[in-house]
Amino acid sequence: MSEEIEQLIRSYPGLVIVQIVEPVLGHEAAMDALAAEIRPVRPDVRVVQVVYSLHREWARAFQMHGSPGILIFQSGKLRIRLKGRVEGPRLCGILKQAGLL
């Protein structure tokens, strides 16, 4: 699956938001709400959830050593790395500051 994630990141022309999660911790619902908030402003966004325990080496390559966390790629390049839980309004503000929204 790590190869599939890499392929998506490299080939997708828009914004790819990768959420590093552990399902038992309940992070998934927050990302669904976040995607719903961002899509009206940035319809080319793709949201991908990566389970840390299954893709630990891939996540560590981006200096993610646990969950939750978010990696944001644009045109195949890592633009933003966030560790910890990030709510929708805060992430939207970060994306605006980076010129991604």
CATH number, span 2-92: 3.40.30.10
- The structure's pTM equals 0.87
What pLDDT digit, counting tens, does each position of 28-75 carry?
A: 566 677 778 888 888 888 888 899 989 999 999 999 988 889 999 999
56: Cα separation from own chain's centroid: 15
d(CA 97, CA 64): 22
Q: Which helix (H) or strand (E) holds 7?
A: helix 2-11
The letter for the amino acid at 28 is: E
pLDDT band at 101 (very low <50, low <70, confident <90, very high): confident
Cross-strand pairs, 19: 49, 70
DSSP-assigned beta bridge partners for residue 82: 70
Strands 77-83 and 69-74: antiparallel
